Structure 1
Amino acid sequence: MTTEQLVEQIKIKNSFLCVGLDVDLNKIPTHLLKEEDPIFAFNKAIIDATHDLCVAYKPNIAFFEAYGLKGWQALEKTISYINENYPELFTIADAKRGDIGNTSTMYAKAFFEDLAFDSVTIAPYMGKDSVEPFLAFEDKHTILLALTSNEGAFDFQTKLIEGKELYKHVLETSKTYKNSENLMYVVGATKAEYLADIRTIIPNSFLLVPGVGAQGGNLQEVCKYGMNDQVGLLINSSRGIIYASKGEDFAEAAAKEAKALQEQMQELLKV
Structure 2
Amino acid sequence: MKQYKSYSVTKNQLVSEIRRKQSFLCIGLDVDLNKIPEHLLEEDDPIFEFNKAIIDATHHLCVAYKPNTAFYEAYGIKGWKSLEKTIDYLNKKHPEIFTIADAKRGDIGNTSTMYAKAFFEDLAFDSVTVAPYMGKDSVEPFLAFKDKHTILLALTSNQGAFDFQTKTVDDKELYKTVLETSKTWQNSENLMYVVGATKAEYLAEIRQIIPDSFLLVPGVGAQGGNLQDVCKYGWNDDSVGLLINSSRGIIYASKGEDFAQESANKAEELQKQMKRELIRYS
TM-score range, shorter chain: over 0.9
Question: In structure 2, how many angstroms separate the alpha carbons of the residues matched to 1:128 and 1:82?
Answer: 31
Letter in 1 for 2:86: T
Q: How much does 1:256 deviate?
A: 0.1
Question: In structure 2, how many angstroms separate the alpha carbons of the residues matched to 1:189 and 1:55?
Answer: 18
Question: In structure 2, how many angstroms separate the alpha carbons of the residues matched to 1:128 and 1:137?
Answer: 15
Question: In structure 2, how many angstroms separate the alpha carbons of the residues matched to 1:20 and 1:2?
Answer: 20
SS at 1:8 equivalent: helix
The corresponding residue for 1:44 is: 52
Superposed counterparts of 1:1-271, under 5 Å:
1-229=9-237, 230-271=239-280
Question: In structure 2, how many angstroms separate the alpha carbons of the residues matched to 1:134 and 1:100?
Answer: 11
Question: In structure 1, how many angstroms separate the alpha carbons of the residues matched to 2:136 and 2:62?
Answer: 32
SS at 2:194 equivalent: strand
> Structure 2 length normalisation: TM-score?
0.96
Question: In structure 1, how many angstroms separate the alpha carbons of the residues matched to 2:61 and 2:113?
Answer: 34
Letter in 1 for 2:152: L
Q: How much does 1:85 deviate?
A: 0.1
SS at 2:52 equivalent: helix
Deviating runs (4+, > 6 A) in structure 1? none
Question: In structure 2, how many angstroms separate the alpha carbons of the residues matched to 1:6 and 1:199?
Answer: 19
Q: How much does 1:207 deviate?
A: 0.1
Letter in 2 for 1:258: A
Letter in 2 for 1:77: K
> Structure 1 length normalisation: TM-score?
1.00
Question: In structure 2, how many angstroms separate the alpha carbons of the residues matched to 1:104 and 1:8?
Answer: 31
What RMSD in Å do the two structures reach over aligned CA positions? Answer: 0.3
- Provide, for residues 118-159 of structure 1, a one-character-per-residue CA deviation record: whole Å limited to 9, x for no partner: 000000000000000000000000000000000000000000
Q: How much does 1:7 deviate?
A: 0.3
SS at 1:265 equivalent: helix
Structure 1: tracts of 5 or more residues without a match? none
SS at 2:189 equivalent: helix
Question: In structure 2, how many angstroms separate the alpha carbons of the residues matched to 1:85 and 1:39?
Answer: 18
Question: In structure 2, how many angstroms separate the alpha carbons of the residues matched to 1:92 and 1:131?
Answer: 16
Question: In structure 1, how many angstroms separate the alpha carbons of the residues matched to 2:132 and 2:170?
Answer: 19
Question: In structure 2, how many angstroms separate the alpha carbons of the residues matched to 1:227 and 1:138?
Answer: 26
Letter in 2 for 1:122: V
Letter in 1 for 2:207: R
Structure 2: tracts of 5 or more residues without a match? 1-8
The corresponding residue for 2:5 is: none
The corresponding residue for 2:4 is: none
Paired-residue identity, %: 80
Q: How much does 1:96 deviate?
A: 0.1
- Provide, for residues 182-201 of structure 1, a one-character-per-residue CA deviation record: whole Å limited to 9, x for no partner: 00000000000000000000
Q: How many residues align?
A: 271
Q: How much does 1:259 deviate?
A: 0.2
SS at 2:224 equivalent: coil
